[in-house]
Amino acid sequence: MGLKFTKGYVVSFDQVNALGEMTLKALFDRLMMTSGFQERSLPGLQAFRDQNQLAWVVTAHQLEINRLPRYGEEIAIETEALTYNAFFTYRQFKVYDQTGQILVTALSTFSMIDLKDRKVVRVPDDIIQAYQVAPAKRKVKRLRLAKDLTANDQVDQVTAQFLDIDGNRHVNNGVYLNWVTNSLGADWWLNKQLTHLSIAYEREIALGSQVDVLTYDQMDESHQTYHEIKSNQGRHALVALTWQDRAGHLE
């Protein structure tokens, strides 16, 4: 276990959907902001990364969702770098409400790339030591999702736009979730509540790319939907969502 860091936020109007719930993209943005704030709180760490042209890249997220934060709610996000191995680091997030109840728990997997050649590199000892993280004592079980959807019920086509691109020069990870959640439609969100999310990122998406968002509905069997984001370059991400019936809906 490593250093813990906590940052408070107020959920703003532009971060929620029509139900007043925080969108998945807004939630992911705040998780990543919190890890970024922790890095900046450690003396010299961001400067070291910048000087060596290194960048963090998220390869997977797993979320357990008791409920999503709501508009105007004060939340606290706690993060901790848990452990690492040769090429991956593992970070935990917990989202609390004002009473200390856990709303969301997330486990995220990161790798580090050299921005000069866009290749994965080992995390330098200077960074590991700054977070006071111990190496994994046993092999960390990586997130595994189905290699391919055997069938799909829906295909939506999207184009990667300029505002989808972040500072790493590819589509921001949260945008993937916008594409998936938009593909489900309003009626779905009015009647279903998300309880678990797993996403594995495999390939970056560049500006102007034409992308297919495939959806496979297995609600009758497992209360899950599966999603694949792919283009003519191959698969970019796989997503598995678990749902329960919503107690009420927006009139």
Phi, psi of 71 (to 5 degrees): -55, 130
Look up tokens 């090429």; give the residue.
87
Output the pLDDT for position 251. 44
Q: H or E element: which one contains 61?
A: strand 54-65
Output the pLDDT for position 140. 56
Look up tokens 């704030």; give the residue.
37
CATH topology (fold) of 1-143: Thiol Ester Dehydrase; Chain A (3.10.129)
pTM: 0.90
CATH number of 144-250: 3.10.129.10
Buried b (16+ CB within 10 A) or exposed e, 173-195: bbbbbbbbbebbeeeebeebebe
Buried b (16+ CB within 10 A) or exposed e, 103-125: bbebbbbbbbbeeeeeeeeebee
Q: Which residue numbers in the chain have pLDDT < 50?
A: 250-251
Token pair for 119: 């290749």
Where do the structural domains in the chain lie, given as residue ranges?
A: 1-143, 144-250
Output the pLDDT for position 146. 59
Fold match between domain 1-143 and domain 144-250: yes
Phi, psi of 246 (to 5 degrees): -80, 140
Number of Cα atoms under 13 Å in the Cβ half of residue 248? 3
* Alpha-carbon torsion, ordered 14, 15, 21, 25, to 10 deg: 140
Token pair for 147: 């290699």
3-state secondary structure 185-227: CHHHHHHEEEEEEEEEECCCCCCCCEEEEEEEEEHHHHCEEEE
